[in-house]
Chain A
């Protein structure tokens, strides 16, 4: 999981891995929980629950992306803005996956909004939220 930091000098890496392991466990549990919840919701008959399911499944993927980037003890290279501000550098996730997640959140926002609009339209047409009562 922490492939990237392995390529840096060994001495710098050791403490980082400790941080990463603890946080990774929490992230793994979160990913598992979110995907389980999403699967449950996606299989409901109520259309609204299905929309919740697609919102949750993308969030699960986002947390997974963060976990894949690895969470390590930050330094001034990964958080360059703190170079001029001095002070403690917090534990941080890989900036690349942060950018990926940001993009994925925007896409998920658009898709969920469209799904909600469609849900309302489907309700108007069928006068039911139960997808098994659709023709």
Chain B
């Protein structure tokens, strides 16, 4: 039953093809698109059930084309992947449903729906893949769709925003290729599990682990660019303003989290396996006091996170339009997600580390839901009034109380008011930061706590400003003449209810997040899951038949066939190596 792993991917592919084919039947295309998102959410729910929630649950793998790891491309669904997929499916479902109602029908007909499912496909692949180069390919699938979303309306601002988004990301992709190529040359494999195994025992494979720190910095830069962390945040405001608002909900809610996911997966599951024994960073003379590349990740990501919280918060306070304010806010909020990840990297013990990663995941889920709701509410406001400018809005609370209530729930969750999901997100991040300060009570250790505090205050300031400017006061002419679509309002209220439910029934959410953090940190289980056969015996088998080269196993072949022998020794193993289910 490991085929369930590829179910979300297949659903997304079919949805892309179907919506593309139905371009001449707009009504049917819209219905297909929504149905595609519903089936996608169902397949993700089934996957999450099989992987985490069911009594006999366990992670699963799918070896594409029947090629066993590390030769083929492995898809891995563990608790971390399942958690991120649930996040993507939830935001995706609401995004497409609101888009159908709020966007101009002619605009939808062109290519909105195929692009949306293409983006979902890229996100899904990135969450599931167990192969480093394949991760790059899924990134590009996701990016290609998001470039077009940013350029969607084709005006001067939109093309400019698309260029500001495209050029850094192309350079980022090139930098990621540098990291991947270097890691392949250093470690000799592209399969993440195989890489973790080799890094854990470098002597047996004749590899030098010191270059891994620098090479991991290459991929970290790209992931930070995707996540929009300072100093790679400059593309965020113009891109989010240019994209259609339901697509911006996806960009802010889901595609940013792909960068965070990739940092967690690669650093904690793969690179952390490398033992460094106090190597020094070349040029700086700074010694790595820890024993793995996590010691490098910790301070670097912490600086990025603190700067993001400051830049995003300060930037959001002075904005004149709601969508721009939300774009800056999402820079700051991603800083809140990166902060516990950075503290997890420098955490002394496994339990602290797990709690910190779980805090990051809970915050990521909360931010995806809350920011998704806020962007979608803004889409409804713009659809009804034709503007998102705070000076032209006012009195929305009187005009449409339910819409305002939904926006308020999203806002309060972002601020962190109990019993909404955001309260637990903020609470856990503060707990991690406070615990960090408690273990090492120095001025430097207080920085994360202070940054989180300042960020929280700034959040309250800009949320209050939006609320007072847009929803209180006397009705402006734009608001007075607005007709608010009740279906959209119903959808937004339902998403607000989800946020409330995630806060009220927080225990299962937290257990899911803890299981995901556990999966991210448990390297041994990940390696055994993907490739149970020990690599050393394969090596000893010497030079096998070269026939493995002629396979159609895909673009990313995770190992040199000549070096590891051919797949013949593995051929008698079942194609799906997962024993977990």
Contacts and interface: CB of A to CB of B under 8 A. Distances in A.
* A and B are interacting partners: yes
Interface of A: 1, 3-8, 42, 47, 50, 53-54, 57-58, 60-62, 64-65, 67-70, 76-78, 80-81, 83, 94-97, 99-100, 102-104, 107, 110-111, 114-115, 118, 121-122, 125-126, 131, 134-135
Describe A's contact surface by its main secondary structure: helix
Contacts of A83: 546
B207 interface: yes
A134 to B, nearest CB: 5
Interface string B539-567: 10001001101100011111111110000
22 contacts: A3-B186, A3-B206, A4-B562, A4-B563, A54-B171, A60-B174, A61-B175, A68-B182, A81-B550, A95-B557, A95-B561, A96-B558, A96-B561, A99-B557, A100-B555, A114-B148, A115-B163, A115-B170, A118-B162, A125-B155, A134-B156, A135-B157
A54 B57 CA distance: 46
Interface of B: 133, 137, 140, 144, 147-148, 151, 154-157, 159-160, 162-163, 166-167, 170-171, 173-175, 177-178, 180-182, 184-188, 190, 205-207, 539, 543, 546-547, 549-550, 554-563
Given A61-B178, A64-B181, A125-B155, A96 B559 contact: yes
A80 B167 contact: no
Contacts of A135: 156-157, 160
A67 B182 CA distance: 10
Contacts, number: 145
B543 A61 contact: no
A42 B174 CA distance: 13
A111 B133 contact: no
A1 B556 contact: no
Given A8-B562, A96-B557, A47 B163 contact: yes
A99 B166 contact: no
A117 B90 CA distance: 33
Contact of B555 (A3, A47, A102): A102
Nearest to A77: B546
A78 B170 CA distance: 32
A6 B563 CA distance: 9
B151 A103 contact: no
B181 A68 contact: yes
B159 A61 contact: no
